[in-house]
Structures are given as C-alpha cells and as structure tokens.
Amino acid sequence: MDDVVVLVEQPVSHVDARQVVGLHAGSERPRHYHVLIPVEDASVRVEATIGTLATSEVLGTSSLYFGEEDLDRIRREVVESSRRAVADSVSAFRAAGASADGEVAVEDPLDRLCALVAERGSREVVVLTRPHLVAELLHVDWTSKARKRLDVPCVHLLAHGDDEVPPEE
C-alpha cells in the first residue's frame, strides 16, 4: 500500500476528499492517506487580537487584557479545534472509500511534513489549500517549499467546500 501525506490548512470537505482520492483512481496499488493539519498558533491569534484592540484605544474604547489562564484556555480550545478538523477530514476520506488517518502538527507544518514522509516512507505529498496567489507567485507557499525539501512528487490542489464542485479536468 502506498502512503500519501495530505497537508491541509482547514478540514477536508467530502468534495476535496473525493478529488484527492480521484487522483489515484485506476491505480493498481491501493493508497493510504495521512492527513496533516497544523494547529493554529494561539499566541499569534491573541497577539493579533491585542494589536487590533490596542488601536481601539486611539479611538477611545477600552482595551482587553489576557492573563495566563486565558491564554492557556485559548491554546486548549485551538488544539481541540484542530483535533476535530483532523477527525472530520479522516471521516471525509473514509466516506470516499479510502484508508485514512491523521494528526495535528504542533511544530512547523513543513518540518513535520518532511519528518512524516521519511517516517512513513510516503511516496507522494498532496497539499490542499485555499488559493494563495502571492505566495505561489513568489514560490514561498507550502507546495513550493515541500518540492525543494522532498524527493517525492508534491501536488497542489485548491480546496473546495462541500457545496462547491471542483472544476472539470
């Protein structure tokens, strides 16, 4: 069975799971998909919120302060949300008839991707994201970086919602 790591930035929809599985339709070798979703960095989210609120002081509104307990609670919520996203993504792959499992990346997603490919002996990487035109143009997107670091094929697909239909090939 060939192993494919699927790096995503949000839960995989049923449409997207069918699209990824469809890449390998007709292959003689079965595939196992390992979904990798980075945990959102709670500290970055909090800093962005504080930055936004700090500008509100200029406008005369009160600012908001987070204690260590609040930050810990936010971190737990973010990790739990990421775990649910992995579970939903694995379910979407299984509903598409594929073998799948997954994990949350708590470290840099590309570092974890490279480690996973080595650990699992993966034969392919699929990166499934929303469009990031500037990053793609400058070749600083996940797919471009993965291609530079890995010796396996790296395919980039654009994510769709379950209410969207991917474009015809």
Q: What is the pLDDT of residue 136?
A: 63
Q: What is the pLDDT of residue 123?
A: 95
Q: What is the pTM of this model?
A: 0.78
Instruction: Say how far apart CA 67 and CA 45 lie, in whole Å.
Output: 15
Flag whether 122 is in a domain: yes
β-partners of residue 4 are 33, 124
Domain enclosing residue 9, as ranges: 2-158
pLDDT tens readout for residues 109-155: 999 999 999 999 999 999 999 877 766 666 668 999 999 999 999 99
Flag whether 164 is in a domain: no
Flag whether 114 is in a domain: yes
Q: Could you say which DSSP state residue 123 is in?
A: S
Q: What is the pLDDT of residue 73?
A: 86
Flag whether 127 is in a domain: yes
Q: What is the pLDDT of residue 43?
A: 47
Across 83-113, b (16+ Cβ under 10 Å) vs e yields: eebbebbbbbbeebebebebebbeeebbebb
Flag whether 165 is in a domain: no
Low-confidence ranges of the chain (pLDDT < 50): 42-44, 57-58, 60-63, 167, 169
CA 63 to chain centroid, in Å, comes to: 32
Flag whether 111 is in a domain: yes
